Structure 1
Amino acid sequence: MEQAGKIAVTETSIEVKGVRLQTQAFGDPSSPPIILIMGMMASMLWWPDRLCEELAACQRYVIRYDQRDTGLSTHYPQGAPGYSSGDLAHDVIAILGGYGLETAHVVGMSMGGFVAQEVALRHSRYVRTLTLISTSPLAVEGLPSSTKAYQEHSRAAETVDWSSSEAIAAFLLRDAAMLAGTRHPHDPDAASALIARDMDRAPSFASATNHFALVGEEGPARLRVADIRQPVLAIHGTADPLFPVEHGEAFTKVVQNGRLHRIEGGGHEIHERDIDEIVRAIVDHTA
């Protein structure tokens, strides 16, 4: 066990059906649990340490983890993931079981927000509340697409040499800049340091591109965000170039118990200067 300030931090590897899931927990295990699900190609390191520590300091037991094909969790051959979004949702339940937890508040960002919605729909009894950051509601049509600039950048992923660490790092650095909001200046040095830390930690980074296949797969028609009954908080930047803020607003229109917290000028990111605001919103929602 380490200490982050006065916050206890433990690291645990959980096995589920031959899959290793690397997890890290912050705070007092007797506090209300929150599990954090990060987005595409991103390990748990993309949940800022300070966000985890501040949530724990507010009497929450915070668990973050590496999804499959990221960080220290199980990696698959590039182009052959061998798992579905449903498996990623079940991983959340396996982690709760590994920690001896019957329920938790579930927080998902971007692709992790899709996984979080699937957890609530497939495994409803385990979910106390949902917080969905910079994501889009399942089975809601007519929402605006990404900005043209981000679409052009995204298409460039097809030309990246995923066998080259330098090419991967350069693409991810461009991606971080493209996803930045307008409220605060983008910090390329901080982004570069996080990307390097993430890449150095993973035994294979190219396999994280397997997440692209999950976005393209056909989801079961029965999974609709309108069927979620838990309280839902959408946290969304008003300058998000990937999912424009209308995606966050949609949760308040289709979910029975949905609220929206706007990050004015926020992008598709958890900016260092927005952490205090995001923590307050999550703590209030999970009270």
Structure 2
Amino acid sequence: MRANGIDVRYETVGDPGDPALLLIMGLGAQLTDWPDEFCAQLAARGFHLVRFDNRDAGLSTAFDSLGQPDTAAILRGDPATVPYLLSDMAADAAGLLKELGITRAHVVGASMGGMIAQQLTIDHPGLVASLCSIMSTTGDRTVGRPTPEAAAALMRPPATTREEILAGATATSRVIGSPAYPATDEWLQQRAAAKYDRSFRPRGTQRQYAAIIASPDRTAALGAVTAPTLVVHGEADPLIDVSGGRATAAAVPGAELLVIPGMGHDLPQALWPQIIDAIATNAARAGQ
């Protein structure tokens, strides 16, 4: 779909007659990072799901013409190489909904997707029926900070071969994944292989990361959010510390906070029923 001036690859799941629910994934992730089974279970709760590839990921438009950002300079406050901001990515999501004829949707975002979902709610409040921010943060750099080990995993030089991707997926998951709900190596490698075979854009991931660090703190703006809001965070998240989730919930009036013991920076299958129940309950608040 052509939306906000770019090509956005999307898929839908469920009955088009049900209320729309937009799923937004994180840094370097693709729409397929929302597992098919998770989507099917969420759709079965009465939602018409829309999942899509963010710009610079998956099969949506790449911004290679913008070159590579200087992240060190951006962190020092020099925006010269910033390719785009989270607000631009939120505008992509808003544009997709518009082109699909969806005037109002429940919005669920994970990690960077949670940041985009927050920005979408801030910039386009009329589009958002309810907001769910999972394992994310507000943009305040004093909260949601990674452990040194998780930061090192995030900043590891990108793999260049399929074999390196498969090995790296397992290693990274062991650092940032849920300690109480570890995934099997086989499952991790199957998903990593499918992701690599569909699209491999490490340079796009670097530009998305630049968008994260260049975008302003959303704390004050979140104070004006009126949509029913749910914040889900793993108590054991080493990549975005649980303080990021707590700060998000504190910033949004009336937000519900669900902190899950033993959950890290992933969506363990064992926790899907709990998370899906919470999403459905929050969405129901929009109709009250």
TM norm. shorter chain > 0.5 = yes
Letter of the 1:136 counterpart? T
Aligned: 1:88 with 2:77: no
Distance 2:175 2:131 in 1: 27
Distance 1:31 1:125 in 2: 19
Deviations, residues 77-98 of structure 1 (Å, cap 9, x unaligned): 2626843322210111111112
Alpha-carbon spacing, 1:128–1:242, altered in 2? closer, same or farther (3 Å)? same
Letter of the 2:189 counterpart? S
Aligned residue for 1:131? Answer: 132
Aligned residue for 1:145? Answer: 145
* 2:213 aligned residue (176, 201, 216): 216
Letter of the 2:42 counterpart? L
Aligned residue for 2:259? Answer: 262
Asked whether the equivalents of residues 219 and 248 of structure 2 are also in contact (C-alpha less than 8 Å), the reply is no
Distance 2:169 2:68 in 1: 19
Alpha-carbon offset, residue 204 of structure 1: 4.3
Aligned: 1:199 with 2:196: yes
Structure 2 alignment gaps of length 5 or more: 70-81
Aligned residue pair count: 270
Asked whether the equivalents of residues 118 and 223 of structure 1 are also in contact (C-alpha less than 8 Å), the reply is no
* 2:179 aligned residue (165, 177, 182): 182
| 2:223 match: secondary structure | helix
Alpha-carbon offset, residue 141 of structure 1: 5.8
Aligned residue for 2:73? Answer: none
Asked whether the equivalents of residues 233 and 258 of structure 1 are also in contact (C-alpha less than 8 Å), the reply is yes
Asked whether the equivalents of residues 58 and 200 of structure 2 are also in contact (C-alpha less than 8 Å), the reply is yes
* Worse-superposed segment, 164-173 or 174-183: 164-173
Q: Percent identity?
A: 28
Aligned: 1:59 with 2:46: yes
Alpha-carbon offset, residue 272 of structure 1: 1.3
Higher strand proportion (structure 1 or 2): 1
Alpha-carbon spacing, 1:174–1:233, altered in 2? closer, same or farther (3 Å)? same
Aligned: 1:227 with 2:235: no
Deviations, residues 98-157 of structure 1 (Å, cap 9, x unaligned): 22110101111000111011101111111111000000124x4642521222123334x2
Letter of the 1:25 counterpart? T
Structure 1 alignment gaps of length 5 or more: 1-13
Distance 1:233 1:147 in 2: 25
Asked whether the equivalents of residues 107 and 131 of structure 2 are also in contact (C-alpha less than 8 Å), the reply is yes
Distance 2:215 2:244 in 1: 20
Alpha-carbon spacing, 1:142–1:202, altered in 2? closer, same or farther (3 Å)? closer
Alpha-carbon offset, residue 233 of structure 1: 0.3
| 1:224 match: secondary structure | helix
Distance 1:180 1:227 in 2: 33
Distance 1:126 1:214 in 2: 23
Asked whether the equivalents of residues 145 and 243 of structure 1 are also in contact (C-alpha less than 8 Å), the reply is yes
Asked whether the equivalents of residues 6 and 61 of structure 2 are also in contact (C-alpha less than 8 Å), the reply is yes
| 1:233 match: secondary structure | strand
| 2:173 match: secondary structure | helix
Aligned residue for 2:62? Answer: 75
| 2:189 match: secondary structure | helix
Distance 1:18 1:167 in 2: 34
Asked whether the equivalents of residues 239 and 266 of structure 1 are also in contact (C-alpha less than 8 Å), the reply is yes
Alpha-carbon offset, residue 31 of structure 1: 0.8
Give the CA RMSD over aligned residues.
2.2
Asked whether the equivalents of residues 22 and 72 of structure 1 are also in contact (C-alpha less than 8 Å), the reply is yes
Distance 1:106 1:268 in 2: 19
Alpha-carbon offset, residue 168 of structure 1: 4.0
What TM-score do the two structures reach when normalised by structure 1? 0.86
* Worse-superposed segment, 118-127 or 240-249: 240-249
Letter of the 2:63 counterpart? Y
Asked whether the equivalents of residues 130 and 227 of structure 2 are also in contact (C-alpha less than 8 Å), the reply is yes
Alpha-carbon offset, residue 232 of structure 1: 1.1
Distance 2:204 2:142 in 1: 32
Distance 1:200 1:76 in 2: 20
Aligned: 1:241 with 2:238: yes
